[in-house]
Chains A and B, each alone.
Chain A
Amino acid sequence: MQALLIAVALSSRSASPSCICMAQRLSIIVVEKDRDRAMLIVDGLRDAGDFDVMVIAEETGLARRIAQRNPDLVLIDAGNPSRDVLEELALATGPTERPVAMFVDQSDGSLTKAAIEAGMSAYVVDGLRADRIKPILDAAIARFHMLQKMRIELAETRRALEERKAIDRAKGILMRARGMSEEDAYALLRKTAMDQGRKLADVASALVLAADLLK
């Protein structure tokens, strides 16, 4: 399940409502290993407004890096196991003071709904104004939707290619080993798959694996 986490941070300036001044640029950290994905998100955020955006690609010492930077928001793909590290950051300022709240706890129903539909959960600092966060969340949701779609398409294409390749290799093996024509080899694979109630690609892969073992 791919989703997005937005954590807001924990800096003393944003946790204390008296220090929030509209003039200050919000600083945002994007945690993302893949450079192209990161850039897509950063571009989306740039379109949404004037923010101070930084990308962290390295998972080592993630908590320390984020704490040093003291951002207002952290964006991370929730498919990233390092999300749990951010949870700890959210507690670091003292869990009973509760400077962060889960986004779904907020009163803005439509934004919450959009976030959940995007598979997104979020944290927002108490006192950080919703109107400052909304454009960022909107932009981030849009970009993550786009990324999710691209990822699914890429995975489907890759799988189709791999299946095609396995079937071709299996046909080749049968043609060489049993002196069959390409059509007969394909028909044999298909019949075997049907008889065994398995997918053609699975039968082909099994044959390729077995042939490799016998080499």
Chain B
Amino acid sequence: MSVTLRLGYVPLLDAAPLIIAEALGFAEEEGLSLDLHTAPSWAALRDMLVVDQVDAAQMLAPVPVAMALGLGRGPVRFEALCVLNLNGNVIGISNALATTMAQAGYEFDFSDARAAGSALLAAAPVLRIGVPYAFSMHHELLHYWLRASGAAAAQLDIRTVPPPRMAEALQAGEIDLFCVGEPWGSVAVENGSGTLLLPTSALWARAPEKVLATRVGWAEAEPALAGPLLRAVWRAGRWLARSENHIIAAELLTAQSRIGVSAELIERALTGRIVTAPNGREHLTPQLIEFFEGAAGFPWRSQAAWIGASLARRHGLDVVEAAGAAADVFRSDLYRLHLRPAGAILPGASEKLEGALAQATAVPAERGELILPADRFFDARIFDPTAPVR
């Protein structure tokens, strides 16, 4: 007897753990039947979750945090049960801007965010920037990167552009730069609209990107649903992280119009072989998107605190208070409870210094050890969740 759970997602590469959990039977093994619904926009998906049209949804990590801080009012609040993936976004620029930067001697290496930031700001005094949503890692990371690279707030005009329109907006000259989840960056390269400058993993190597969100209280009220769901998604993430599965994953994700692009475009981000320019330049970026390694799914309270502090700085809220309130949104306690039976390696702590690891480091786990990969920010700053910089 399987129980049906309704899940919502926006058709992007990072919906993969949900799609794979259903398509390959990881959910079925847990006695769940997943009823997947696609949403045309983040606002629509949020509303589906608010009014109980779905039980759980893929969500931009900052959305539940913003709700907890009272940004964008709603009657219901969300919490994050796990992180679906780290990174998976790319930054692209217009061909005109790419030409200017190339003429100034910039070499497009698709990795050095410091050099890319200086070259970009030297080439364009004001940047019109497209991001998919007001509360997104795209927005927070771009802001962090460009301000740390010396841009004044007034130089940055960040606005919302729906991902399927991103390439078109770049080509039409509405924006100079975008940050968008794959495959939409590769789509822009493919149709000749732009050049990719960086993956967001170059800004923060372990940036949480999408989370599995539910209404606050749902997981505790329905442990017999939340547990199996978390375990199915965790197994799907483990399957997705294996390189031998990437080709079949790309096929499954694009079958039945689940994600409406070609499998070849999806494969680029999955395998980390990103074509960054219309002339076919390819850069190997293995950490472009991460679904599993180094406890990628663990919802660190300190990740939420970073997001909360970042939102607070931009919206004029108290940073310390916001970081504290944000931390509670990432339910590392529930994650431990439900993933322990699956044999997941769980870290000993639920908070850490973010950006402190320059290389992979062994840390204590609940049982044995866990290897945490390097998690640096591009400017080597370290975020201490107990003492966030105002």
Contacts and interface: CB of A to CB of B under 8 A. Distances in A.
A and B co-occur in one complex? yes
Interface of A: 1, 3, 5, 59-61, 63, 78-88, 90-91, 95-96, 98, 100-102, 104-105, 116, 121
A83 B50 contact: no
Contact of B47 (A63, A81, A82, A121): A121
Interface stretch (B66-74, B237-245, B371-379): B66-74
Interface string B71-115: 111110000000000000000000000000000000000000000
B160 A63 contact: yes
Interface in B188-235: none
Interface string B54-70: 00000000000000001
Contact of A105 (B75, B164, B174): B75
B24 interface: no
B19 interface: no
Contacts of B165: 59, 81-82
Given A63-B159, A90-B72, A121 B40 contact: no
Given A82-B41, A83-B44, 15 more contacts: A1-B48, A3-B47, A60-B169, A80-B40, A81-B41, A84-B160, A85-B159, A85-B161, A87-B72, A95-B72, A95-B315, A96-B316, A98-B70, A105-B75, A121-B43
A85 B159 CA distance: 8
B42 interface: yes
Contacts of B342: none
A83 B315 CA distance: 22
A102 B74 contact: yes
A61 B173 CA distance: 11
Contact of B134 (A80, A83, A91): A91
B272 interface: no
Contacts of A121: 43-44, 47, 50-51
Interface string B32-53: 0000010111111001101101
Given A61-B174, A102-B50, A87 B133 contact: yes
20 contacts: A1-B48, A3-B44, A5-B44, A78-B47, A81-B165, A82-B162, A83-B41, A84-B43, A84-B132, A84-B133, A84-B134, A85-B159, A87-B43, A88-B133, A88-B160, A96-B70, A96-B316, A102-B73, A104-B50, A104-B75
B40 to A, nearest CB: 5
Contacts of B162: 81-82, 84-85
B317 interface: yes
A116 B51 CA distance: 7
B365 interface: no
Given A84-B160, A87-B160, A88-B134, A1 B39 contact: yes
A157 to B, nearest CB: 20
A102 to B, nearest CB: 5
Interface of B: 37, 39-44, 47-48, 50-51, 53, 70-75, 132-134, 159-165, 169, 172, 174, 315-317
Contacts of B40: 1, 78-81, 83
B73 A100 contact: yes
B143 to A, nearest CB: 14
Contact of A96 (B51, B71, B169): B71
A78 to B, nearest CB: 5
Nearest to A101: B73
A86 B134 CA distance: 10
Contacts of A96: 70-71, 315-317
Contacts of B132: 84
A138 B133 CA distance: 29
Contacts of A116: 51
A43 to B, nearest CB: 25
Nearest to A79: B40
A102 B160 contact: no
A5 B73 contact: no
A7 B71 CA distance: 16
A1 B46 CA distance: 13
Contact of B44 (A1, A60, A100): A1
A88 B170 CA distance: 19
A78 B73 contact: no
Interface centre among B47, B48, B159, B174, by most chain A C-beta atoms within 10 angstroms, is B47
Interface centre among A3, A81, A88, A100, by most chain B C-beta atoms within 10 angstroms, is A81
Nearest to A85: B160
A90 B42 CA distance: 14
A87 B71 CA distance: 12
Contacts of B53: 1
A60 to B, nearest CB: 6
Nearest to B139: A88
A80 B41 contact: yes
A84 B41 contact: yes
Contacts of B47: 3, 78, 102, 121
